[in-house]
Structure 1
Amino acid sequence: MDLSFEDERRPEVMSARLATMSPEELDRYETYRRSHLPRIEVGKLLRDLIPAEHPVTPEMLVVVSGLAKLYVGDLVRIARENMRESGIDDAHPIPPQYYIVAARRLAREASPCVGDHARPRLTGPPVISNNELL
């Protein structure tokens, strides 16, 4: 069941969706809503990544924590899909190798290759036009 951000903002849609959920689904959804990454740890990581002359603001922590939560959700979703394809049901915990495969898949989707090959062509016509880069 996919809930869009707009659906979560509309009480009538959410109440209808929550009424159709099984107790296990409702428990997972409530756990998801309550879950968060510790802002202190996210702040430590940001301070390591960002130059010292740029301060880490509380707003940055909220945004990065939210994006990290979305990334973890995508990892779990893709790992579960891979498990189902392998014949393992959702009742089992996700083994580490499925997270590795999911992370590689997300990295590949985030930086798609130009054209149908892994390396850019050094000779020949351009694969994409300059207008498509904008």
Structure 2
Amino acid sequence: MASASTATARAAGTSTMMMMMMMRKKREDDDEEEEENMEVELDKFPSASDPHKMAKMQAILSQFSDEQMTRYESFRRAGFQKSNMKRLLASITGTQKISVPMTIVVSGIAKMFVGELVETARIVMSERKESGPIRPCHIREAFRRLKLEGKVPKRSLPRLFR
């Protein structure tokens, strides 16, 4: 009798695992399809091969110091992982269905904000005649300044702890 119930439990567990694997596979296929559709839609936009824009960009980049150029290159290469951004958006919106374009947009906005924060922190450092790496006090002051300029949105919900 025990072997029959064990076999039934094993079969139920196996079918549950199979069902979960099929659902995960379907979600992955949907995500891949969305990514493919996104690539097709991005191809419709004009390319960045505008000679006037390229000349303007070269003029700006030629004015950078070595330190600025290093920071710019790091900024260009940096990004947020899609999986982490999807998880963040899911926790904010309360839904598990987060589209790939939404993830890309929010990642871009977050990257721009971090870049703005770093540049403002560098300005704070130069005003204080300090050098070296950015310290937390520089980040706090940069955040305070960005908040005063209206570049940081106000909270929609009150803080839980103070």
Larger Rg: 2
Q: Which residue of 1 aligns with 2:78?
A: 35
One-letter amino acid of the structure 2 residue matched with residue 88 of structure 1: E
> Which runs of 4 or more aligned residues in structure 1 lie more than 6 Å from their structure 2 counterparts after TM superposition?
none
1:13 aligned onto 2:53: no
Shift of 1:21: 4.0
Shift of 1:111: 7.6
TM-score (norm 1): 0.64
CA deviation profile, 1:83-133 (whole Å, cap 9, x unmatched): 1111103xx001111111211222232289xxxxxxxxxxxxxxxxxxxxx
Percent identity between matched residues is 35
DSSP 3-state at the match of 2:148? helix
The 1-side partners of 2:101 and 2:147 are apart by: 26
Higher relative contact order (CA 8 A, sep 6+): 2
RMSD of aligned alpha carbons? 2.9
More helix by share: 2
TM-score (norm 2): 0.54
CA deviation profile, 1:22-51 (whole Å, cap 9, x unmatched): 444433322221111112111111110002
Aligned length: 104
Q: Which residue of 2 aligns with 1:129?
A: none
Structure 1 unaligned blocks of 5 or more:
1-6, 113-134
Q: Give the 3 Å change call, closer, same or farther, for CA 20–103 of structure 1 in structure 2.
A: closer
The 2-side partners of 1:23 and 1:100 are apart by: 26
The 2-side partners of 1:32 and 1:11 are apart by: 19
The 2-side partners of 1:38 and 1:14 are apart by: 27
Structure 2 unaligned blocks of 5 or more:
1-49, 153-162
Q: Which residue of 2 aligns with 1:102?
A: 142
